Amino acid sequence: VSSGPFLTEEKQIMEVHHVDLTISAVAEEQYPKTDYPEIALVGRSNVGKSSLTNVLINRKNFAHTSSQPGKTQTLNFYNVEDQLFFVDVPGYGYAKVSKKQREKFGKMIETYLTTRPQLKGVIELVDARHAPSDDDVAMYQWLKYYQVPLLVVGTKIDKVKPSARTKSISQITKTLGLTDTPLQLFSAETKFGKDEVWQWIEARMHDQK
């Protein structure tokens, strides 16, 4: 296994120096024409997708975060070191977005997640403070159905007392019905879990399929 120029020797974690937002796409024709592997981030609005992206790329607010849900409304392709793209997907489960708009996002997300050859893996974020919602379960089952390589990230773990973390893991495992899908706890505040998430991404980047 070659570590490549941007990987550190021991840990195989990419050191990110260069990132740019290549495109905020609203239609398929706008997706990058590169063959770089792509990793998509999905999850409820406000769960922390943009925050996770920022931690992975070592930036404070490169992917815009907001306490106002529904902020990200396009497929945002972040080019990382000309080696991969993170694709920030609009959050689901946000009531104030109109039904028509939601259907439009839904179609765009569905097409992207089911037909994009560059897509090597999906990270589904859930809020580790609560049991996953019906939307989280539906998204998980849908991704399983399409056999997309999947990592579940239980985020905002800094808000969960250390003594309650085992319960948080079992709650996510049980509600989603996780069997062979990996689960990683994470915090954008403390960066807990960052290396583990990167390791999973690195492995997907080098998957042969």
Residues that bind Mg ion (CB under 5 A): 49-50, 72
Query: Per-residue x/- marks for ligand GTP, 33-52, CB under 6 A?
Result: ----------x-xxxxxxx-
Residue number with CB closer to ligand GTP (51 or 79): 51
Q: Which of 56, 85, 139, 155 binds ligand GTP (CB under 6 A)?
A: 155
Size of the site for ligand GTP (CB under 6 A): 23
Q: How far is the CB of 51 from ligand GTP (least distance, A)?
A: 3
Residue number with CB closer to ligand GTP (49 or 204): 49
Q: Quote the CA–CA distance of 196 and 203 in Å, as a whole number.
A: 11
Does residue 93 interact with ligand GTP by CB under 6 A? Answer: no
Does residue 70 interact with ligand GTP by CB under 6 A? Answer: yes
| Residue 93 touches which member of Mg ion, ligand GTP, none, C-beta under 5-8 Å by kind | none
* Nearest residue to Mg ion, by Cβ distance, number only: 50
SS3 of the chain: CCCCCCECCCCCCECCCCEEEEEEECCHHHCCCCCCCEEEEEEECCCCHHHHHHHHCCCCCCCCCCCCCCCCCCEEEEEECCCEEEEECCCECCCCCCHHHHHHHHHHHHHHHHHCCCEEEEEEEEECCCCCCHHHHHHHHHHHHCCCCEEEEEECHHHCCHHHHHHHHHHHHHHHCCCCCCEEECCCCCCCCHHHHHHHHHHHHCCCC
Does residue 122 interact with ligand GTP by CB under 6 A? Answer: no
Residue number with CB closer to ligand GTP (29 or 150): 150
| Residue 184 touches which member of Mg ion, ligand GTP, none, C-beta under 5-8 Å by kind | none
| Residue 156 touches which member of Mg ion, ligand GTP, none, C-beta under 5-8 Å by kind | ligand GTP
Give me the torsion for CA of 102, 127, 138, 169, rounded to 10°: 170
* Number of C-beta neighbours around residue 140 at 10 A: 22
* Binding stretches for ligand GTP (CB under 6 A): 43, 45-51, 65-67, 69-72, 91, 155-156, 158-159, 187-189
